[in-house]
Amino acid sequence: MAKAKPAQFGTITGYNDWSVIRTIREAENIARWSPWKTHEWMEDAAQRLDLFYAPYHDQYNQAVLRINSLWRSNMQCHWYDAKTFWMDGKTYRTPKMLEPLYEDFSPV
């Protein structure tokens, strides 16, 4: 049987090789159960966006609005427990909503 080659030290693994739009979509998906991982991935996507050539700025802002509305709607549910949802490992952190790239964004 052929052996798999071991991964070399320092190679990019995990979500780092995702495109910006995939990172945004996966952050929307994980927002249901891990808000701090969502913050991490959305910050990563925002840092990788090009300021001059902006194909994904609107998608980023729309994703922020959808994620924030999901978190606000979860707060209305009877099963929602803020202490467990906003845990970062074993420590509780105060809830923090995502911020859009620019404030004058209005959804269409």
- pLDDT beyond 80 at 90: yes
Cα separation, 84 vs 51, whole angstroms: 36
The pLDDT, as a whole number, for residue 1 is 59
User: What is the SS3 assignment for 45?
Assistant: helix
The pLDDT, as a whole number, for residue 11 is 46
Contacts of 76 (CB under 8 A, 6+ apart): none
Count CB neighbours of 51 within 10 A.
7
Cα separation, 36 vs 42, whole angstroms: 10
Task: State pLDDT tens for residues 2-49.
Answer: 666 665 544 445 556 788 899 999 999 999 999 999 999 999 999 988
